[in-house]
Amino acid sequence: MNKHDHTERPAPAGFTLLEIILATTVSALLSIALLQFFSHNASRSYLPLQNLNRTFTLESAMDQIISDYRNLLLTSPQPLVELQNNVNNRAYWTDTEIQIAENFCLNFIEGPPGQWTESPNVGACNHPSDTLLKVTLSLNNQALTSILAR
């Protein structure tokens, strides 16, 4: 017998180079798609926290206004006038991004029975009939309004 018998070789174990390259390419493409999806959502994840922080900032400023108004009701002969001036002077907050959207006195005129309309004379609280002050603070795309009554 010849030394070089042609015996069958066992089937190769493992993957071919082509299969490995194909699997690597497919997994890379899927990884890129997933990475883009997650990175887009992760890059926007700060927005809810930023909006919540703005809300707290506005509420803090409005709480200070309301607290001062309660004190002015007890100590000032014209609490609405003083409060309106303090708001205009930004006495209640240090955040320069907070804007005063509205700060004026409201009056309502009785129209037809049971109907009231807002008086066209809005502005400074300097008339004895002024009993409502509307204050609206805004910070970027958020606003907070309070109507303070005498």
Q: Per residue of the chain (150 residues), give pLDDT as tens.
A: 556 666 677 666 778 888 899 999 999 999 888 888 877 777 777 888 888 999 999 999 999 999 999 999 999 988 988 999 999 998 888 878 899 998 888 877 777 777 777 765 567 777 666 788 899 999 988 999 999 987
Q: What is the pLDDT of residue 91?
A: 86
**Can you give the pTM of this predicted structure?**
0.65
Report whether 106 contacts 132 (CB < 8 A).
Answer: yes
Q: What is the pLDDT of residue 106?
A: 80
Q: Beta-carbon neighbour count of residue 121 at 10 Å?
A: 14
